[in-house]
Homo-oligomer: A and B are copies of this chain.
Amino acid sequence: MKELVKLMDYRPEIRVVDATLRDGGLVNNFYFTDDFARNLYQANLKAGVDYMEFGYKASREMFDESKFGKWKFCKDEDIREIVGENKTDMKIAVMADVGRCDYKNDILPKNESPIDMIRVATYIHQIPGAIDMINHVTGKGYDATCNLMAISNAQEKDVEIALELIAQTDVKALYIVDSYGALYPEQIARIMDIYMNVAAKYGKEVGIHAHNNQQLAFANTIEAVGDGANYLDATYNTLGRGAGNCAMELLLSFLKNPKYNAFPVFQFIQKDMMKLKEEGMVWGYDLQYLMTGILNQHPRTAIQFTEEKRKDYADFYCELIEK
């Protein structure tokens, strides 16, 4: 048992990151209306969310702009269209994938941009690329986090070495990313131990981005909170790739800092998100995602199963274990 007092009290260092547009954009190719983005921004402000992530800074050399909504590219002018000069306490974040971002050209100096933080997403085999990107964006004046993806497939010693390397940059937080929704809380505790050791050594924060394949996104997030994680990703109504993420409404209801308020989240879900479901957008826990989760696989097969509106779960499981 740990940190029981934190259930009643709170840790002011905690930062809640809304990843709805970014991870949700992976469901609908980032085709959100401006009204949706604007209402979400307002809801986040009312809810006391600390960071709002708009989307990716994806390379326009690699990805055809006509095939995606604007939040795949997050041009500064598009963000400004929603937030103006963002004279609020909430900060603006975007994600940049190693190998898929033309960061030298597409990321302007911080003082010319409404963006505050660049979240550098990397696989464990891309660490030098991540470090180069982190150094570049922190050099331009941004805060940065490093989000280590698909960590359930990495060996712990490799994770430790990667974290040691990354922690020597000016990065603010080191993130556990359970991309496949494969981890149990006990494993989160074990991985948090590795992260917290490196974080303590270099004065960094630790973050978590969980997926809900096993209905553990929220549980794993609060496990990590108990272990010392201060950067917490969540999305409204779990909206995100595949099984989705830690639900913002669950997380804000759990956190006891009086600055957080779940009510604007309920309102936004009611007014702006039910509509997405009615229009046929599908996300959230379902058996096909449980299956890729327990098999520690990328959810792409399960996403295809969902898109094809298949319901032959047992057959799908056979396909997965045959591969």
Contact = CB atoms under 8 A, between A and B. Distances in A.
A185 B184 contact: no
A132 B317 CA distance: 47
Number of copies of this chain in the oligomer?
Answer: 2
Contact of A317 (B1, B189, B263): B263
Interface in A207-265: 212, 214-219, 222-223, 226, 237, 247, 249-250, 253-254, 262-263
B287 A269 contact: yes
A314 B2 contact: no
B254 A4 contact: no
A249 B91 CA distance: 40
Contacts of A151: none
Nearest to A193: B1
Interface residues of A, number: 45
A290 B250 contact: yes
Interface in A250-300: 250, 253-254, 262-263, 266-267, 269-270, 274, 285, 287, 290-291, 294
A316 to B, nearest CB: 8
A116 to B, nearest CB: 29
B311 A274 contact: yes
A302 B214 CA distance: 24
Which residue, A185, A266, A294, has most C-beta atoms of chain B within 10 A? Answer: A266
Judged by DSSP, the binding face of A is helix
Contact of A250 (B215, B267, B269, B317): B215
Nearest to A1: B189
A32 B249 CA distance: 34
B218 A266 contact: no
B249 A287 contact: yes
A202 interface: no
A126 B294 CA distance: 41
6 contacts: A1-B186, A185-B185, A219-B219, A270-B312, A270-B314, A274-B311
Q: Which 5 A-B pairs have the closest CB atoms?
A: A219-B219, A267-B314, A266-B314, A253-B294, A270-B313
Given A3-B186, A185-B219, A214-B250, 10 more contacts: A1-B190, A184-B222, A184-B254, A186-B226, A214-B218, A215-B247, A216-B218, A247-B290, A250-B290, A270-B313
